Amino acid sequence: MKAALNAYKVIATIVGCLLIVLVVIGVPLEFLSADGSGAKSAGNFLTEYVGIAHGWLYMVYLVTTFVLSRRARWDVPFTLVTLICGTIPFASFWAELRAIRHTQAKHPEPVSA
Amino acid sequence: MSTSSPAPALRPWSRRLWGAHAAMVVVVAAAIALGLWQYGVSQQHKVDQIAKLAHATPRPLTDVMGGNDAFPGDHLGRPVVVTGRWLGQGTVYVSGHTHDGQHGYWVATPLRVDGTASAIYVVRGWSADPATAPAAPGGAARLVGWLEPGQQADSTDTPDLSPTSTGSATQAHGPAVVSSLDMAALIDEVDVDLFSAYVVGADHQADWPASASPVNDGSRGLVDVAAPALPKADATTGLRNFLYAIEWWLFAVFGLYVWWRYVRDVTRVTEDAPREDDEGAPEGDAQEDAVRSDA
């Protein structure tokens, strides 16, 4: 359970940060900057490679979250909201905090770790 | 069978699970469709890149390869500008090319390329019958064509250039019919060296300004020929969308897995509730981990 929670924390943070880089930096750079400018090619690079990395890491996030949801016995709506929030910039961090609190409230540490 | 749950055992086909089944079908179908869509986008990127290369600004042939060079693979299908003088005597008819289902011939005439000691065969067009094809042009010419590597003669079907069958290679004795544009065989047709390549005339492409003003391209009276080999798209073109497609399909598998676990859980919990160590057991980390270890 603890391992699953820690794995969830790590992957959720990575995916959340990548998503922000992709949506808040990469996409505006690609679509708002002038053709042929350095900013445009930087945006292209970000959306290409961060986009690919984020897509695959999101799959890892899905599986990790699902494993945790079963170990921690989240109900189905809670699990779905957590999974979906992983795709929304910034909301992913809120969902991560919510999921950690929910899990710890349901399964308090037996003794101080 | 005493049970801790008053509810009847939930069967996989129970009405209460129809919502879950329907959700699974919708999610899986949507993920497969989105994957197909992304796959289509990735292929379209490749098609677009090829079309762009095939319609790139033509470069002078002599910038791309010299008269004695091996074929530059990077330039397969690239449009080139050829400037030179026609060697009408070397005209050959390449058999085995159909147009609208009709058998016929490519009509190819060598062009002595300015600035080199070599000639390059130019496919001027297609004709159903060498006897009715227009006469080979002469004089100076400047035209745009797609660069293609010289073909290999089919070993079972050698070029038919012998005087005893279709006549000699000279126009006076009838048309020279060959089975392929194999430079090693065609070298006998001309008295200069040949490029290890040939060119397919591309002067009648619409929306391609560079081909708008060919000089004496010799294509009058012939049907246009499409380039047989197109440039290659880069391996990375459309890669992102291709990987997205795979992710969507994996997501479909994930959706199936979640659905399967869910249905198995809810059908098992009520059926096997009396068993204390089953997944329906009371919560608690120690017990939980014990349960998990067998899952």
Q: Are B215 and B84 in contact (CB under 8 A)?
A: no
Token pair for B212: 């708008």
Q: Could you tell me which chain B residue has the CA closest to the CA of A104?
A: B285
Note whether B157 and B278 are same-domain residues: no
Residue to test with chain A: of B38, B45, B242, B247, most A Cβ within 10 A: B247
- The verdict on B162 and B271 lying in the same domain is no
Q: Per the structure, how many domains does chain B have?
A: 2
pLDDT digits (tens, 9 = 90+) for B167-204: 334 444 567 899 889 988 888 888 899 999 999 988 76
In this structure, is residue B232 part of a structural domain?
Answer: no
Q: Which amino acid belongs to residue A2?
A: K
Q: From the candidates A2, A75, A76, which should be mutated to test the interface with B, based on the most B CB atoms within 10 A? A: A76
Q: How many helices (H) and strands (E) does chain A have?
A: 6, 0
The domain containing residue B187 runs over which residues?
77-211
Alpha carbon of residue B147 to chain centroid: 17
B86 and B158 inside one domain: yes
Taking the alpha carbons at both ends of chain A, their separation in whole angstroms is 14
Structure tokens at B69: 């060079």
Q: Which residues of B touch A66 (CB under 8 A)?
A: 254, 258
Task: Tell me if A92 sits within 8 A of A21, measured CB to CB.
Answer: no
Q: Are residues B117 and B189 in the same domain?
A: yes
Domain assignments of chain A as residue spans, ordered by start: 2-106
Residue B69: inside a domain: no
What pLDDT is attached to residue B65? 92
Query: Which of B250, B286, B289 comes nearest A59 by C-beta?
Result: B250
Classify residue B61: in a domain, yes or no: no
What ipTM did this prediction achieve?
A: 0.74
pLDDT for B275 = 44
Mind listing the pLDDT tens digit for each residue in B68-103? Answer: 888 988 888 888 999 999 999 899 999 999 888 899
Contacts of A55 in chain B (CB under 8 A): 243-244, 247
Domain match, B191 and B242 both: no
- Residue in chain A closest to B241 (alpha carbons) equals A52
B218 falls within a domain: no
Query: Could you tell me the pTM of the whole model?
Result: 0.59
Out of B158, B192, B211, pick the residue that ends a domain. B211
Domain annotation covers residue B55: no
Q: Per-residue pLDDT averaged across A53-76, rounded?
A: 89
B9: tokens are 């055992």
Q: Which of B244, B250, B288 sits opposite A1 (nearest CB)?
A: B288
CA distance B20 to B16: 8
Interface contact flag, A1 B289, Cβ < 8 Å: yes
Q: Which of A55, A62, A107 sits opposite B243 (nearest CB)?
A: A55
Helix residue ranges per DSSP H, B112-238:
183-186
Residues of A in Cβ contact (< 8 Å) with B292: 1, 71
Cβ contacts (< 8 Å) between B261 and chain A: which residues? Answer: 70
Q: Model confidence over B225-241: pLDDT tens digits?
A: 887 777 777 777 888 88
B171 in the same domain as B123: yes
